[in-house]
Amino acid sequence: MPRLALTAGEPAGVGPELLARLASMPFAAALIAITDRHLLQRAATRCGVPLQLHEDDGQPHAHVPGSLRVQHVPLVVEEHPGKPDPRNARHILTTLAEAADGCLAGSFAAVVTAPLQKASINDAGIPFSGHTEFFAQRAGVDVVMMLASPELRVALATTHLPLRAVPAAVTAGSLERTLRIVHAELRARFGLAEPRIAVLGLNPHAGEAGHLGREEIEVIEPTLARLRAQGMSLLGPLPADTAFVPAQRERYDAVLAMYHDQALPVLKSEAFDRTVNLTLGLPFIRTSVDHGTALDLAGTGRADPSSLIAAARMALELAGRRGCVG
């Protein structure tokens, strides 16, 4: 019976309500929420769903719909839905740290995260780029962000960077590290013996033979050639505007995009409620929703839990494939 850690993200966002709704679903796992128990109870009341909370005792109890085990991390101040308070930034980071450390220690098979508000944490004077970077630093490893739906997998060469900073960040060394991680994780986590990865160009039309930029010629193409010689199946660099047409999709198992908004709009427009955010390269499984804190919906009880449910199911599937029991 795997133990899945759940974090609620931004207390004033929809995360706590999503956890309350997730708890009503059947799962062949023990679900442990790492957050403030009173926050969860208030969220359940707002959603109109019954929720029984029990202190986590470290054991793999079978999940009972309508209940959650809790590792209590108290809020600094009570939440006001839709209005993030930077005073709760330390609470949020503590929940992430406890989840990561529990995974590293073998207490959890995976962590599933609800969305948080990066700006609120930075407003507290704590530099913070996102879940992906936090977990990478905590585990001391290089990681890759991937979003996956049943139809499409998209990994990112760069994550939460301003667009003007992207070209300098796409180096031969970083691109090779990223492709090695994606290739290894597609084999280990998704069971693909010989994964085929499509790599997008950085510039329009993949640089148009150097007329629209030289990154493809000077960085991307040589890196792909070097890795192909070592046995990787790599397509590209492909123009991003045609890489997702049906005829192209038949040729690959995953896509590596150069920056955040190059490919994710395609994925989210097709399968927003079925897409899961994964962090590849960690020594544990981490999945998350593919959306933000939805502050306009917080407190209304109307937030759709579909993406969080998909994230929990994928975490359970990946944990089973790797033989993790927590």
Q: What does the alpha-carbon distance between residue 199 and residue 220 come to, in Å, rounded to a whole number?
A: 9
123 token code pair? 């407003």
Q: Which residues are annotated as a binding site for substrate?
A: 131-132, 268, 277, 286
Q: Helix, strand or coil for residue 316?
A: helix
Interhelix angle 306-322/15-22, nearest 10 degrees: 60
CB 77 within 8 A of CB 85: yes
Label each residue of 103-152 as H, E or C.
HHCCCCCEEEECCCCHHHHHHCCCCCCCHHHHHHHHHCCCCEEEEECCCC
Write out the two tokens for 284: 């544990």
- At 3, phi and psi to the nearest 5? -105, 120
Query: Annotated binding site for a divalent metal cation, which residues?
Result: 160, 205, 260
The binding site comprises: 131-132, 160, 205, 260, 268, 277, 286
Q: Which of the 8 DSSP states describes residue 216?
A: I
In this structure, what are the phi and psi dihedrals at residue 146, rounded to the nearest 5 degrees?
-130, 140
